[in-house]
Amino acid sequence: MKNSETKTAAREHHIERAWCKGCGICVHFCPKQVHKLDEEGKACAVRPEDCIGCRLCELRCPDLAIEVIDRQAADRQGKDHE
């Protein structure tokens, strides 16, 4: 079941475009394929409603360009995934 029109995103992804160098780490490792590189080669959250709040994109961003903002207080902590 995936319908981005009807689901409201519980989290927002703030991406500092001027800092992002488009390495693709966030795109590659997001367990829910939330991110994509846009036409300028910058990270962009295209499916924020699918975000599970693991924050791995934020933690692994070498450019310190991503912040996952939780709209709800609850924050499920993800693991490093062995």
Partner 1 sequence: MPARDYIRERFFPHMWCPGCGHGIVLNALLRAVEALGLDKKNFVMVSGIGCSARISGYVDFHSMHTLHGRALAFATGIKISKPELNVIVPMGDGDAMAIGGNHFIHAARRNIEMTAIVMNNRIYGMTGGQFSPLSGYGTMGTTAPYGNIDHGFNTVDLASSAGATFVARTTTYHARELADFIGQAISHPGFSVLEVLSQCPTQFGRRNKAGDAPEMLESYRTGTARIDSKKKRENPDLIERGIFVQKELPEYCREYERIISKARGE
Q: CA 12, 78, 31, 40 torsion: positive or negative?
A: positive
Total residues contacting partner 1 (rule CB under 8 A)? 25
| Cβ atoms of residues 35 and 45 within 8 Å | yes
76 is a site residue for partner 1 (CB under 8 A):
no
> How many residues are present in the chain?
82
Query: Would the CA dihedral through 55, 57, 61, 66 be positive or negative?
Result: negative
Residues 11-30 that bind partner 1 (CB under 8 A): 16, 18-25, 27-29
Judged by CB under 8 A, the chain residues 31 through 70 that form the site for partner 1 are 56, 58-64, 67
Interface with partner 1 (CB under 8 A): 16, 18-25, 27-29, 56, 58-64, 67, 79-82
